[in-house]
Amino acid sequence: MFPRLFTFDTPEFLRGIFPEHISVYSYGFFIAMGVLVSYYFMSRRVARYGVDSDKLAALFMWVILASFVGGRIFFFFEDLSHFVENPREMLRFSGGGFVFYGSLVFAVPTMVWWLRKEKVPVRPFLDIVAFAGPIVHSFGRVGCFMAGCCHGKVCSNFLGVTFDHPESLARPLHTPLYPTQLFDIGINIVILIVLVLLSRNKKFAGQLFLVYIVLYAIGRSINELFRGDEARGFVFGTGISHSQFIAFLLLIISALIWVRWSKRDENRL
């Protein structure tokens, strides 16, 4: 596809600070677009909780930082020995390099901490986040598709997509692969549709967020069957990928929280 959207010459007065040429990569560009769209979506819905644009921007900064750190740490641990032997690759951000579940695991506690600090009702707010999450994630997967990361296995049917760009992270090149990035977008779209339908008759505060986590865990576990970037490794030497294992844990945790939240007032976690 197009891992690099475009490259332009750095203005003369910035040459001492930045390199002579600056490239805009599709992966980072589409993640940024997803953040902007989700920020707009949430800004239209959080005023009822006393969260103005300044507070929302502050929350986004904390969540972006936590997501960056968590996604990067989980990425390193998927192939730790490789990064220990090649430490310079830790600084490479041209495409890929993040694990969604790592971002999620770090972002949610950070969000809860901030909401409590600002005395914002946590569970009703998380129900809004349930919509914003799939929006950001879908844009991010467009970036993955453009960069070639998170690709699928070799595909012998009409679903196959061939990556030819020499900078693409897909392997092997010039060979039809399952477009698992697009499958993930489809999963997130289905989740959004379910959330819209369920929001009209939800049973308790926080339910939409839990539904989001559960549906994505199920969808991601199925999508993993088609993933071809096997360098991510497997758990305990089995055929279970790291993402499938994390999804299983999230399903258990979500079930326990579901029972707890369905019996409690919305102002209590």
| The pairing of beta strand 176-177 with beta strand 161-162 | antiparallel
Confidence of residue 97 (pLDDT cuts 50, 70, 90): low
pTM, 2 dp: 0.88
Q: What angle do CA 249, 250, 251 make, to 5 degrees?
A: 90
The pLDDT assigned to 132 comes to: 97
Q: Output the pLDDT for position 15.
A: 76
> Does 86 have pLDDT greater than 70?
no
pLDDT at residue 260 greater than cutoff 90: yes
Q: Name the pLDDT band for 75 (thresholds 50, 70, 90).
A: confident
Residue 148 has, within 13 A of its CA and on its CB side, a CA count of 21
Of 99, 110, 185, 195, which Cα lies nearest the Cα of 146? 185
Q: Give the tens place of pLDDT for each residue, 19-31.
A: 788 888 999 899 9
Nearest to 248 by CA among 211, 219, 221: 221
Question: What does the mean pLDDT of the chain come to?
Answer: 88
Does residue 151 surpass a pLDDT of 60?
A: yes
pLDDT exceeds cutoff 70 at 94: no
The larger pLDDT score, comparing residue 79 to residue 6, is at 6
Q: Provide the residue ranges of all domains of the chain, joining segments of one domain with +.
A: 4-261
